[in-house]
Structure 1
Amino acid sequence: MSNTTENNKRIAKNTLLLYFRMLFTMAVSLYTSRVVLNTLGVEDFGIYNVVGGVVAMFGFLNSAMSSSTQRYITFELGKNNFDQLKKVFSTSVYIHAFISIVILILAETIGLWFLYNKMTIPMERMDAALWVYQGAIASTIVLIMSVPYNATIIAHEKMSAFAYISVLEVILKLLIVYLLLIGDFDKLKLYAALMFGIQVIIRLIYGRYCKKNFPETKLQQTKDWKQFKEMLEFAGWNLWGNCAAIAFTQGVNILLNLFFGPAVNAARGVAVQVQNAVNQFSLNFQTALNPQITKSYATGDYAYMHKLIFRSSKFTFFLLLFLSLPIQLETETILTIWLKNVPEHTVNFLRLILCVTLIDATANPLMISAAATGKVKLYQSVIGGILLAILPISYVALKLGGNPESVFIVHLSVCAIAFITRLFIIRPMIQLNLSNYFKEVILRCFAVTFVSLFLPTGAIYLTDDSLVGFVIVCLACMFSVSIAAYFLGFEKDEKQFINKKILSVINKIKR
């Protein structure tokens, strides 16, 4: 059996495992989000989102190093260099320990000052906000120290670990919801403390799994300063890109707080919850596929690497369109059914943020391929600079009297520019044919989107606002995207693969 066939089977198996994980976690997450919002109230829910965002701003240090760790562990595994793999893992643990200390110092000094002097939080809730803040710091440190272990699991493509441990995590979050409902304690303080407890439990489980299954995760002393320097240099350029990511997520969240208060943060928090749920579908597929992109570069198989990039970008777009189109057309109905109490601006926030998600998720394979090369200086400096502009432009828009939606319009516009720029930067790095990418990915995505709109648009005009009408529109969206993707989006061999899988399922059912 060829390596390509084995890789495809591994990708398919890992994708299915991650989808099992995602479907379960998303179903519970949608329920728990509703209960938490109603239990905490709009104001406390907004406080939890924005205060946790202050700590997340310091997480840009960790995000940069996470990309470096993932890349180097996967690269060395692809080259079957076990001795170097052990050095990379131990080096990454020491670096993450140092990052934890730096973030702790920054959060307890600059972050505390910002919380007390700049945030718009009612005085009577400041004590609870401090609980949330300290819990977020502790949770962040736990997550930072988990990065090398999680990166090792992904590099080995053992996605079953994520699937099973995530099920436990979700069950624990369900328990939190129950305790919130019965607990005779400040709900916001209790929620912050319990969420931290879950992070500690999950971290210990991941650590135990890695030590049992992967010998390279046994920590050893290392003085390989060349490796240390190389990983830090890679992370340093990623740091610039992650500063931009923090700016247009948590930075914009804080801007909304400064201009409009916690209620608007609650609206953004709800929109981001739905965005994350939808985005999980693409992340699961890409998490299963990304190690193969890095490993194919490590072995010099550019043709296979390009095929993976094309398919990852294209399939991700179709999958997200299948999920997001019903939400885009029936946003208000879905939010009302889900939450009952829908914060103002949530409908518009969600529609705009889903458009951003479509662009970013489609571009993600390009980011992975850039990281695979290890030469990210030009990529991160240019793309990071473009994305960093979201925050100042949003500030100007709000200062000139713009409404809360204006920051998401800015975000969407800048992301579209960044996507085009990525293509021209990536082209020489991995010998990518832009003409092929345009024909195989961009044109097919546009064609599928255009054709998919006809049937659901007609359904909207022909049905009323009843529950039956809502179901008809959603089914029309899913049917039209599926048919358009099959006939306009997939190549001949991809159609054959899908037909084979469908026949296999039908035969199993008949038996």
Structure 2
Amino acid sequence: MIAAVAAFVVGFFINFFLTPYIVKSLGTEAYGFIGLTTNIISYTGLISIALNSMAGRFITIEYCKNKIDSANKYYTSVFFSNIILSLIIALLSLFFIIWMESIVSIPQTLIFEVKMLFALLALNNIFNLISNTWGVSLFVKNRLDLGNIRNILGTVINASTIVLCFSFFNIHLWYIGLAGFLLAAYTAITNFRFAASLTPDLHIKKSYFDFGKIKELLKSGVWNLIAKLGDILGQGLDLLIANLFIGTIEMGMFAITKNIPFLILGLFQTISGVFAPVFTKLYAQNKKDNLLKEIHKSIRFLSFFAVVPLVFLYIYGDCFFKLWLPTEDSSKLIRLTILGTFALPYTLPLESLWNIFTVTNKIKVPTIFTVANNLLVFAIVMVSMCFFESPEKRLFILAGTRSICGIIRGFLFLPIYGAQCLEISKKSFFKDIFKSLFCLALCLLAGYGIRHIVVPNSWIELFIATTAICIPCFIFSFIIILTKEDRQLILKKFFN
């Protein structure tokens, strides 16, 4: 968990300095195409989701049961299948590059730049897909800390490449793709080394290839594919909709506002992922009581970590944007950001519950609900584009609709169906949720009190104000959210 938080902090500070540097170098309009091309590339990943989303679960369970031959069959079958899928993705990417300017709105001066960016990001995606199988060893051995340490170094490599290219050569948009490609190559090499050292008994051999294992993975993973399609309708098309219905400049501004929510959500997905190997192992060993204890613990720790970033965003977000991007409209940026994040207080503490559906192999119902939820988001947004002509109103609707539907999905469905999958009371997780919301409310009150005293106009003043906010947040969270056992565990880890 410490490694996960450290990876987030390093990534945050690098993005903190890098984003305004890139926006200033390229311009808001060009910056928007980084997010747009990244989203479009992610659509090609749909091809591999059905196979790869459940691979870690099946390999780990077989490995923990000491069924090494069976684990090797899953391992080998996924690897060779990913090579075939990579060739398909390469062909699809090539066709899209050829006709790109006919599909999305691109200024004439940026066509070559955007195509080069897309090509390099496609190579990035292919490298990651091929090396994913080796990365399973980190999950199997519950050594996600090594992956997070690797991610820290990778983030530094990525940022250094961009800065060096922008500093010593003529500025080009596709440098972002080049940096991503080098990062993907580094990730592939380290995944291979992790696999060799952590799980030397997992091998890739032709004799292990088994169509039956692929069929089993696809049967379970197809629901994750459907869920991803729903996510694309709900939020993956945000920048494309902004490009087609609002404007390229507004798309660039919207891409900027997605940075902080993306970082926060990425942090909590990473932290919740720390618990996934433990959940999987306890489920494989049929230790239900221990599994429930770990799940409740994960919710409490996620709630504890959620308070500070959310309070900072809601109290001093406008000051942050004014200092971070002084050439942009900070009031509009913070309004868009808050509209896009007001579901996070309800959903961040529950991120670990998504692991339950994978562990228990019950992903059909959450997938159907997620798709329905995202279809509702897409329908509301598209209808709104017809009724409102103002670019600002369209942008605010695009940002806010997903949050409203996100509360419904995260606060009502997730804890209820998660409890049902575990065959416990449907009210089991609500006590943790309400404690988290109560603590957040107290911290926001304390934060507003500090805001009346300190309104930062410099980075030093913002740092002082943030430090002042952290003190009541940590005190309230430590007392209200965590149990006595949690507090003793933390104190023992840090002071013994």
Q: Deviations over 1:182-240 (max 9, x none)?
A: 33335113332332233223312322332343224431123433322110111111111
Paired residue for 1:422, among 411, 414, 431? 414
Confirm whether residue 154 of structure 1 aligns to residue 130 of structure 2: no
With over 3 angstroms needed to count, the CA separation of the structure-2 counterparts of 1:32 and 1:470, relative to structure 1, is: closer
Please report how far the alpha carbon of residue 426 of structure 1 lies from its aligned counterpart in structure 2 after TM superposition.
2.7
Please report how far the alpha carbon of residue 464 of structure 1 lies from its aligned counterpart in structure 2 after TM superposition.
4.1
Q: Deviations over 1:411-456 (max 9, x none)?
A: 01111111212333333321132223112x1121121112112211
8 Å Cα contact 2:162-2:179 kept in structure 1: no
Q: Deviations over 1:232-251 (max 9, x none)?
A: 11111111111122223331
What is the distance in 2 between the residues matched to 1:272 and 1:169? Answer: 22
8 Å Cα contact 2:82-2:129 kept in structure 1: yes
8 Å Cα contact 2:57-2:358 kept in structure 1: yes
**1:113-192 residue pairs with structure 2 within 5 A?**
113=99, 115-192=100-177
Please report how far the alpha carbon of residue 110 of structure 1 lies from its aligned counterpart in structure 2 after TM superposition.
5.4
Q: Deviations over 1:383-415 (max 9, x none)?
A: 232233322221212222143021221101111
Confirm whether residue 243 of structure 1 aligns to residue 234 of structure 2: no
Confirm whether residue 395 of structure 1 aligns to residue 392 of structure 2: no
Please report how far the alpha carbon of residue 358 of structure 1 lies from its aligned counterpart in structure 2 after TM superposition.
4.0
Q: TM-score under structure 2 normalisation?
A: 0.91
8 Å Cα contact 1:323-1:478 kept in structure 2: no
Q: Deviations over 1:10-68 (max 9, x none)?
A: xxxxx223333333333223222222222122121112221232222222333443321
Which residue is 1:340 aligned to? Answer: 326
Structure 2, unmatched stretches of 5+, are none
8 Å Cα contact 2:311-2:447 kept in structure 1: no
With over 3 angstroms needed to count, the CA separation of the structure-2 counterparts of 1:74 and 1:349, relative to structure 1, is: farther
Paired residue for 1:446, among 437, 446, 464? 437
What is the distance in 1 between the residues matched to 2:247 and 2:320? Answer: 25
**1:222-241 residue pairs with structure 2 within 5 A?**
222-241=208-227
8 Å Cα contact 1:456-1:474 kept in structure 2: no
Which residue is 1:509 aligned to? Answer: none
Paired residue for 2:95, among 91, 109, 134? 109
**1:74-473 residue pairs with structure 2 within 5 A?**
74-109=60-95, 113=99, 115-221=100-206, 222-342=208-328, 345-401=332-388, 402-419=393-410, 420-439=412-431, 441-467=432-458, 470-471=462-463, 473=465
What is the distance in 1 between the residues matched to 2:312 and 2:6? Answer: 22
What is the distance in 2 between the residues matched to 1:307 and 1:77? Answer: 23
8 Å Cα contact 1:35-1:177 kept in structure 2: no
With over 3 angstroms needed to count, the CA separation of the structure-2 counterparts of 1:63 and 1:481, relative to structure 1, is: farther
Amino acid at match of 1:97: I
Please report how far the alpha carbon of residue 490 of structure 1 lies from its aligned counterpart in structure 2 after TM superposition.
1.7
Amino acid at match of 1:125: L
Q: More displaced, 239-248 or 166-175?
A: 166-175
Please report how far the alpha carbon of residue 89 of structure 1 lies from its aligned counterpart in structure 2 after TM superposition.
0.9
8 Å Cα contact 2:135-2:194 kept in structure 1: no
SS at match of 1:289: helix
Please report how far the alpha carbon of residue 176 of structure 1 lies from its aligned counterpart in structure 2 after TM superposition.
1.6
SS at match of 1:73: helix
Please report how far the alpha carbon of residue 499 of structure 1 lies from its aligned counterpart in structure 2 after TM superposition.
3.8
Q: More displaced, 78-87 or 494-503?
A: 494-503
What is the distance in 1 between the residues matched to 2:74 and 2:161? Answer: 37
Number of residue pairs matched?
488
What is the distance in 2 between the residues matched to 1:393 and 1:502? Answer: 49
Confirm whether residue 48 of structure 1 aligns to residue 12 of structure 2: no
Please report how far the alpha carbon of residue 497 of structure 1 lies from its aligned counterpart in structure 2 after TM superposition.
2.4
Please report how far the alpha carbon of residue 299 of structure 1 lies from its aligned counterpart in structure 2 after TM superposition.
1.3
Question: CA RMSD for the aligned pairs?
Answer: 2.4
With over 3 angstroms needed to count, the CA separation of the structure-2 counterparts of 1:315 and 1:294, relative to structure 1, is: same
Which residue is 1:9 aligned to? Answer: none
Please report how far the alpha carbon of residue 170 of structure 1 lies from its aligned counterpart in structure 2 after TM superposition.
2.5
**1:482-493 residue pairs with structure 2 within 5 A?**
482-493=474-485
8 Å Cα contact 1:70-1:155 kept in structure 2: yes
8 Å Cα contact 2:31-2:252 kept in structure 1: yes
What is the distance in 1 between the residues matched to 2:347 and 2:481? Answer: 19
What is the distance in 2 between the residues matched to 1:136 and 1:213? Answer: 29
Please report how far the alpha carbon of residue 172 of structure 1 lies from its aligned counterpart in structure 2 after TM superposition.
1.7
SS at match of 2:28: helix
Q: TM-score under structure 1 normalisation?
A: 0.88
Which residue is 1:4 aligned to? Answer: none
Please report how far the alpha carbon of residue 334 of structure 1 lies from its aligned counterpart in structure 2 after TM superposition.
0.9
What is the distance in 1 between the residues matched to 2:448 and 2:466? Answer: 11
Amino acid at match of 1:405: F
8 Å Cα contact 2:302-2:349 kept in structure 1: yes
What is the distance in 1 between the residues matched to 2:492 and 2:141? Answer: 28
Amino acid at match of 1:156: K
Please report how far the alpha carbon of residue 465 of structure 1 lies from its aligned counterpart in structure 2 after TM superposition.
4.8
Q: More displaced, 249-258 or 311-320?
A: 311-320
Amino acid at match of 1:179: L
Structure 1, unmatched stretches of 5+, are 1-14, 505-511
What is the distance in 2 between the residues matched to 1:342 and 1:483? Answer: 35
What is the distance in 2 between the residues matched to 1:483 and 1:194? Answer: 41
Amino acid at match of 2:382: Y
